[in-house]
């Protein structure tokens, strides 16, 4: 069966998409009996017409000798912002010469429900091509993925090792917008490292603790989400972990940004703006993130958010060691925790 020359791979699992691209290329080479030249190009809004012309030249030129060209287009959404560019790119997809192929890679944000741009995915499907989503596994599914990868390598995992590895990489973070695009690749690399360390012996949970550093994806954003949703216990749990690995000024910066965003989107919605218009004015491109902020803002009053911002200013002074506010590490950690309880909690003052 001849492989279709069109494919659209999307989702937040970068490793699985890369492997699918390799398999797609191998199938094309098996059909033609010759190796293909993989040509990578990234879409940019400025100069989109020139990029589309270059893609056209690559894929529409008939193959005379040897293998053809496999054009791989990343960030294709930037090429179809303007109507004339979109029409030109859709036309190119119908002109792929025998022996050549065109693949669009959409590295979607975690939590995305549809490919971007969907019109290109629909065009690939209409042309008989392959459209596949690769979603980064999480929780128990990620543990199972790790175990399957280990079996393929002939690597033995002792009970509890796969789950601990998944936890340390961040597979059990439940927040929908945590960044997971490189999660499976990171797990694959860690398995390679553990295999070298253990050889033929089984990898134990102690081995995982010794060799695998915690790299929770988007844990800072998970913390700010917990604050925004006023889930105090979850926020304190994440804060305790973050203070071990994240510089305090970084933590303050993202916390300040989140509270300021909640204030602004709450004010805009209260003034009668539609969510889409408010998000655009604030430079928020993700509909999912806009809905998340809107929901969180509804849990606060303007006075509460203003007080929370004032508290962040005080924390900033402590972190910078302002005169009269020179505190040790333990005291600053306590101050962060008190801020969470004072402001994210509801009617639970603790500072006094």
Burial of 115 from C-beta contacts in 10 A (0-12 / 13-18 / 19+): buried
Residue reference for tokens 């969907």: 118
Q: Quote the pLDDT of residue 334.
A: 92
How far is 186 from 169, CA to CA, in rounded Å? 8
Give the pLDDT score at 351.
Answer: 41
Residue from 203, 193, 218 nearest 156 by CA: 203
Mean of pLDDT values over 43-55: 92
Q: Which run of H or of E encompasses 38?
A: strand 37-42
In this prediction, residue 327 has a pLDDT band, given cuts at 50, 70 and 90, of: confident
Least confident of 111-120, 189-198, 304-313: 111-120
**pLDDT for residue 111:** 63
**Mean of pLDDT values over 138-142:** 91
Contact between residue 223 and residue 252 where contact means Cβ atoms under 8 Å apart:
no
The pLDDT score that the predictor gives to residue 208 is 93
The full 3-state SS of 80-123, as one line of letters, equals: HCCHHHHHHHHHHHCCCCCCCEEEEEEECCCCCCCCCCHHHHHH
Three-state secondary structure string covering 144-205: HHHHHHHHHHCCCECCCHHHHHHHHHCCCCCCCCCCCCCHHHHHHHHHHHHHHHHCCCCECH
Which H/E stretch holds residue 212? none
pLDDT of residue 350: 44
Asked if the model's pLDDT at residue 349 lies above 50, the reply is: no
Q: In this predicted structure, what is the pLDDT of residue 283?
A: 83
- The pLDDT tens digits for 189-232 are 999 999 998 887 899 999 999 898 776 555 788 889 999 999 99
Q: Give the number of other CB atoms < 10 A from CB of residue 77.
A: 17
3-state secondary structure 258-278: HHHHHHHHHHHHHCCCCHHHH
Among residues 168, 158, 250, 251, the alpha carbon closest in space to that of 214 is found at: 168
* pLDDT beyond 80 at 348: no
Q: Encoding tokens for residue 22?
A: 């390799």
Q: What is the pLDDT of residues 246-298, one digit of tens each?
A: 778 878 888 998 999 999 999 999 999 999 999 888 888 778 888 999 999 99
Tokens of 329: 């590490």
Look at 286 and 304; give whichever has higher pLDDT.
304
Among the residue ranges 60-69, 124-133, 224-233, the one predicted with the least confidence is 60-69
pLDDT in tens, 153-166: 999 999 999 999 99
Is a pLDDT exceeding 90 seen at residue 35?
yes
- Using an 8 Å Cβ cutoff, are 34 and 66 in contact? yes
Q: Is 332 left (phi over 0), alpha (psi -120 to 50) or beta?
A: alpha
């Amino acid at each position: 069966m001849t492989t279709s020359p069109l494919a659209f791979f999307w989702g937040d699992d970068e490793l699985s998409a890369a492997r699918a691209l390799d398999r797609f290329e191998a199938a094309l080479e098996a059909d033609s009996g010759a190796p293909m030249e993989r040509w990578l190009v990234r879409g940019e809004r400025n100069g989109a017409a020139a990029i589309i012309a270059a893609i056209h030249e690559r894929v529409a030129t008939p193959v005379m000798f040897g293998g053809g060209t496999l054009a791989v287009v990343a960030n294709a959404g930037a090429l179809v912002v303007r109507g004339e560019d979109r029409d030109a790119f859709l036309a190119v997809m119908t002109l792929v010469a025998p022996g050549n192929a065109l693949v669009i890679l959409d590295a979607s944000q975690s939590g995305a429900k549809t490919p971007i741009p969907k019109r290109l995915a629909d065009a690939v499907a209409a042309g008989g091509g392959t459209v596949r989503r690769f979603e980064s596994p999480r929780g128990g599914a990620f543990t199972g993925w790790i175990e399957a990868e280990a079996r393929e390598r002939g690597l033995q995992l002792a009970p509890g090792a796969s789950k601990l590895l998944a936890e340390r990489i961040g597979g059990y973070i439940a927040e929908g917008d945590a960044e997971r695009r490189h999660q499976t690749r990171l797990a694959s690399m860690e398995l390679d490292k553990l295999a070298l360390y253990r050889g033929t012996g089984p990898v134990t949970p102690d081995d995982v603790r010794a060799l695998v550093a915690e790299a929770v994806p988007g844990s800072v954003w998970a913390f700010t989400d917990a604050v925004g949703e006023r889930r105090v216990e979850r926020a304190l749990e994440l804060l305790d972990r973050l203070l071990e690995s994240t510089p305090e000024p970084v933590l303050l910066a993202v916390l300040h940004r989140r509270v300021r965003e909640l204030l602004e989107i709450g004010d805009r919605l209260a003034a009668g703006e539609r969510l889409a218009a408010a998000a655009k004015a604030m430079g928020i491109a993700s509909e999912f993130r806009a809905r998340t902020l809107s929901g969180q803002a509804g849990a606060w009053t303007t006075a509460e958010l203003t007080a929370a911002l004032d508290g962040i200013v005080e924390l900033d002074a402590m972190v910078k060691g302002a005169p009269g506010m020179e505190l040790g590490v333990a005291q600053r950690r306590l101050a962060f925790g008190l801020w969470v309880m004072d402001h994210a909690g509801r009617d639970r003052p603790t500072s006094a």
